[in-house]
Amino acid sequence: MPRPFISALGTGVAAGSIVSFVLPLAIWPGEAGLTAPLFCRAPYLDPMVVSDTFHDSEGTSVNYTLYCVSERGALTDEGFVLPFLTLFAAHIVLVTAVVLVAMLWARTPSDPPAESGAVEL
């Protein structure tokens, strides 16, 4: 396997893991809505990510759930695990692809100086 691809894949897995665990769970949980084409079928076409906040003696916790909602408010509960795993895979692919393209671009050789063997005096 070419070294740039392995390197890009390693970066993709590392960065994808960070992105998958930090962003959807802490900053942009609504990203799970992007998986709607995979989980939401007609007539439940509108994805909505719903947060439930719980306060107990151990602190505050938040659960996220992806619902697919119809025009009349009928809904299906898609949970969060499958959308989350889908995003995990998508992040790895995305980061790997971007890093691979970036590395290949960075390695593009500029015109090397001609080796004529002449010594400039």
Partner 1 sequence: MRRRRWLRAAVCSVVLIACGCVGAVERDAFEQQIRARGGGLVDGLPAAAFEALRNRLGTGDIQAGVVMFVAPESTQFRLVLADQPEQVTRFLADHDDLSTREPAVHLRVRTPQRPRELDDYSYRLGAVSASRPVRVSVFDDLDGECFTLGEVPGLARLESIVDTALARSALADGVVPVIVVSRFGRDIRIVADVTSARSDMIAEFDSAGTFLGIRQV
Binding site for partner 1 (CB under 8 A): 15, 19, 23-24, 27-31, 33-34, 47-53, 64, 67, 69-77, 91, 94-95, 98-99, 102, 105-106
Cβ closest to partner 1, residue 6 vs residue 74: 74
Cβ closest to partner 1, residue 52 vs residue 120: 52
Query: Closest approach of Cβ 59 to partner 1, in Å?
Result: 18
**89: which 2 tokens?**
């895979």
Query: Closest approach of Cβ 41 to partner 1, in Å?
Result: 13
Report the phi/psi class of residue 104: left, alpha or beta, with left for phi > 0 and alpha for psi in -120 to 50.
Answer: alpha
One-letter-per-residue 3-state SS of the chain: CCHHHHHHHHHHHHHHHHHHHHHHHHHCHHHHHHHHHHHCCCCCCEEEEEEEEEEECCEEEEEEEEEEECCCCCEEECCCHHHHHHHHHHHHHHHHHHHHHHHHHHHCCCCCCCCCCCCCC
Query: Closest approach of Cβ 120 to partner 1, in Å?
Result: 28
Cβ closest to partner 1, residue 106 vs residue 119: 106
Cβ closest to partner 1, residue 111 vs residue 115: 111
Query: Closest approach of Cβ 117 to partner 1, in Å?
Result: 31
